[in-house]
Amino acid sequence: MTTWIVKFFNRTKSFGFITPDEGGNDVFVHGTQVLGSIADGDAVEYEVGEGKKGPEAKNVKRIGAAGVAPSEQDMMDEAA
């Protein structure tokens, strides 16, 4: 699995893009491939698969928000 950061994710339209910390091409992600929920700035892990228009993130799972440890993010999610 690859680990990158969510650059943009629109919950209403159910799509977004994930970008590597080191730079490089963004990867499209559709909401149907997200396990749980993600938001802008979250660190995620996923597999790359072929989508209709090129590479697409599959089985996307949040492992933490940018600058926030996953356990801290879980507590923040529960409090919200």
Q: What is the pLDDT of residues 49-80, one digit of tens each?
A: 999 988 899 999 999 655 454 445 555 555 55
Over residues 24-39, the mean pLDDT reads 93
CATH of domain 2-79: 2.40.50.140
Average pLDDT over residues 24-46: 93
17 contacts: CB under 8 Å, gap ≥ 6: 6, 7, 8, 9, 26, 27, 28, 29
- Give the integer Cα–Cα distance in Å for 14 and 56: 14
pLDDT tens across 7-19, in order? 999 999 999 999 8
- Assess whether pLDDT exceeds 80 at residue 4: yes
- Residue 25: pLDDT band (50, 70, 90) is confident
Sign (positive or negative) of CA dihedral 61, 65, 67, 69: negative
pTM of the model: 0.72
